[in-house]
């Protein structure tokens, strides 16, 4: 526990836009200027590609339209040795909605595609949502970096990787893991608080949506392998591959990406070498501002194969 006040936890440093920054290289064509490939990963961070693709699409939108959803497919692993080119196709421009197709390439190879929908804001008398779970406030929780260090020490499964901890500490998003009650450990559920580092108050809604799209890739797919408890040195299951196939984000309400948001995740199914996870993102006052879904390749080995499916009741609402 940190035990700091909300005032002490204020997010007042300048926001660094480099992770989502794009350079215009032609009509409706943009290029990344920064790519992060996490140490040990086969490709660049998918959330950054999603955020940059949505930013590219947003640059072709005029008027009051806001993104209501983006649906993405990861076709090949990208590398950080060559910048990504995003080509936007203006598929449809309507009065209430418009659509953009984004194709991302490295050289001649297509590595990613996204379809983004934008809506002109409109009032609605039809409104409902799931209630936000009750969890500890972010000020009472340790940082992602401290949590990584504590997990290593608790599990005693090798030395603390200080270089990796420093790498995550340099990212434009900070997060704080919500501890699971003892009766929830091993279930396919997860929750974290997250926010962009730095003050984004002078930036438009597109920047906030792109930043949340970036952050929505943290911890989501890994929820699909939580029941197999692979961190322990004597774990029965060993992970051999976990990579994204597709990722979707639906934006329901305006929000600030530089304010704490609660990301609640669950995985209804892992099977056939794939895992599915879905997420709900709440503002601190309990408004469900976005929803997510992600499927990925999830492969592993079992030292005691019995081919039984682990079954759970839905428990995410009672964190």
Q: Which residues, including other chains, have CB under 8 Å from residue 115's CB and lie 6 or more apart?
A: 70, 71, 91, 99, 100, 101, 102
CA–CA distance, 319 with 298 (Å, rounded to integer)? 25
Sign, Cα dihedral of 161, 145, 184, 315: negative
Residue numbers annotated as active site? 217, 244, 294
Helices assigned H by DSSP within the chain: 46-58, 144-155, 162-169, 205-215
Give the SS3 label for residue 296.
strand
Pairing outcome for strands 237-251 and 97-106: unpaired
Give CA 49 to chain center in angstroms: 11
- Residue with structure tokens 């940059």? 52
CA dist list (Å): 105 to 26, 74, 317: 14, 11, 40
């Amino acid at each position: 526990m940190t035990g700091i006040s909300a005032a002490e936890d204020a997010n007042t440093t300048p926001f660094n836009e480099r992770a989502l920054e794009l350079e215009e290289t032609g009509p409706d064509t943009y290029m990344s200027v920064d790519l992060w490939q996490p140490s040990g990963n086969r490709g660049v961070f998918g959330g950054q590609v999603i955020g940059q693709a949505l930013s590219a699409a947003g640059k072709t939108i005029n008027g009051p339209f806001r993104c209501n959803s983006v649906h993405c497919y990861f076709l090949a692993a990208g590398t950080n040795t060559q910048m990504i080119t995003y080509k936007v196709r203006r598929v449809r421009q309507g009065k209430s909605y418009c659509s953009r197709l984004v194709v991302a390439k490295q050289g001649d190879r297509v590595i990613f595609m996204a379809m983004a929908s934008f809506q002109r804001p409109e009032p609605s008398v039809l409104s409902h949502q799931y209630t936000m779970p009750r969890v500890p406030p972010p000020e009472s929780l340790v940082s992602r970096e401290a949590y990584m260090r504590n997990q290593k020490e608790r599990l005693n499964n090798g030395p603390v990787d200080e270089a990796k901890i420093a790498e995550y500490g340099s990212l434009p998003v900070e997060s704080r893991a919500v501890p699971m009650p003892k009766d929830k450990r091993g279930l396919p559920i997860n929750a974290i608080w997250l926010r962009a580092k730095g003050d984004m108050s002078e930036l438009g809604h597109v920047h906030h949506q792109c930043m949340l799209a970036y952050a929505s890739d943290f911890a989501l797919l890994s929820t699909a392998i939580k029941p197999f408890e692979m961190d322990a040195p004597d774990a029965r299951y060993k992970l051999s591959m976990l990579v994204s196939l597709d990722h979707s984000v639906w934006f329901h309400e305006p929000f600030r990406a530089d304010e704490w948001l609660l990301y609640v995740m669950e995985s209804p199914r892992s099977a056939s070498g794939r895992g599915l996870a879905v997420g709900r993102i709440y503002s601190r006052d309990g408004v469900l501002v976005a929803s997510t879904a992600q499927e990925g390749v999830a492969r592993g080995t079992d030292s005691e194969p019995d081919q039984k499916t682990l079954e759970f009741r839905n428990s995410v609402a009672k964190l």
